[in-house]
Amino acid sequence: MERVDVIIPVYKPERGFLTMIEKLRAQTVPINRIILMNTEQKYLDRLLYGTTLERENHNNITVKHLSKREFDHGRTRNHGVKLSDADVFLMMTQDAMPADEYLVERLLESMRGEKIAAAYARQLPGEDSSEAERYTRQFNYPEESCVKTKADLPKLGVKTFFCSNVCAAYRRDVFDELGGFVNRAIFNEDMLFAAKAVEAGYGIAYAAQAKVYHSHNYTYRQQFRRNFDLGVSQADHPEVFAAYPSESEGIRLVKSTVAHLKGKRMWNKIPDVIIQSGFKYMGYLLGKRYRRLPGRLVTAFSSNKEYWR
């Protein structure tokens, strides 16, 4: 059986993070090591103070502390991989909650029998999710599993490269062969790796039976800033995104969400979706054109201030 490590970038974790660690330790496939790439030591120390994890001296948990200035979506994850000697490593975010004890098992199953570089899990909405967010999760993470390869590019376009480090497993040998994540990334380090893998002849598996709870009810400002960073990442990597633009997929999601709300007679929710979509699109367009903007606006619009320093 392959050895599996879990790598999690951490910043200001809350109590739910301890539950996440417990659920990872209860998986049917035992976790070899949990590697925490923690930004600002004081926040993690505060959470762990007096807990079982602190008394155990972290047991199979390895912690690497970083400053805010040192963190980068790509480089930090690459550093975490270097701390691992496992055959497969699982990238997760601190707010991804395993839905059951079969998460790792199902991801590993989806990587067998084919030339698979990575497999990502289905993201389910949390209890506090809005109806629009619930539908968005269903739209992006359907019930059917699939494997995406180069042959799917004419049909799926940029979605062929979709892979999410909210919860995704990677084969270490393929990861090393392809050079890992880009070292400097404001966003989309997972999709950029997936694009390299697909172009090299590997497949990206979507494992619908591997499930985590993960969703957000972003404010308009948060959506704007998130999509600004998304636009920046696409502008910085035209070798991937110029040939397969994502605008049409975003429009399809908006139309589909509005139709869903109409079908449920939730008329009062539709204006919010339209306004939110406007903020997303504005942020995305400005991000794609960030080189034309004054530096102070770029920093103000971005959700990742440290990236620009």
pLDDT reading at 62 higher than 70: yes
Query: Which residue type does 268 have?
Result: N
Percentage of the chain with pLDDT > 90?
85
**Closest listed residue to residue 6, CA positions, set 91, 107, 73, 83:** 91
Q: According to the model, what pLDDT value does residue 48 have? A: 83
Compute how many other C-beta atoms are within 10 angstroms of the C-beta atom of residue 2: 15
Alpha helices in the chain (DSSP H): 16-25, 41-48, 52-55, 75-82, 103-110, 131-140, 153-156, 172-177, 189-199, 220-236, 238-241, 247-263, 270-288, 295-301
Q: What pLDDT, on the 0 to 100 scale, is given for residue 36?
A: 96
Predicted confidence (pLDDT) per residue in 155-181, tens digit: 999 999 999 999 999 999 999 999 999
Least confident of 189-198, 201-210, 241-250, 265-274: 241-250
Q: Quote the pTM value.
A: 0.94
Q: What is the mean pLDDT of residues 230-259?
A: 89
What pLDDT is attached to residue 31?
Answer: 96
Q: Please check whether residue 197 is in contact with residue 173, taking contact to mean a CB–CB distance below 8 angstroms.
A: no
Is residue 1 predicted with pLDDT exceeding 70? no
pLDDT confidence band for 2 (50 / 70 / 90): confident
The pLDDT assigned to 57 comes to 56
The C-alpha atoms of residue 292 and residue 210 are separated, in whole angstroms, by 42
CA–CA gap between residue 250 and residue 262 (Å, rounded)? 19
Residue with tokens 């199979």: 60
Query: Is the pLDDT reported for residue 99 higher than 70?
Result: yes
* 5-21: average pLDDT: 95
* Separation in Å, CA 82 to CA 10, 176, 179, 274: 17, 10, 12, 43
What average pLDDT score do residues 234-239 get? Answer: 93
In angstroms, rounded to a whole number, what is the distance separating the alpha carbons of residues 272 and 179? 42
Instruction: Express each pLDDT in 295-307 by its tens digit.
Output: 999 999 999 998 9
Per residue in 36-56, pLDDT (tens digit) is 999 999 999 898 877 766 656
pLDDT of 189? 97
Q: What is the pLDDT of residues 202-228, one digit of tens each?
A: 999 999 999 999 988 899 999 999 999
Q: Is the pLDDT of residue 114 over 80?
A: no
Residue 142 predicted with pLDDT over 70? yes
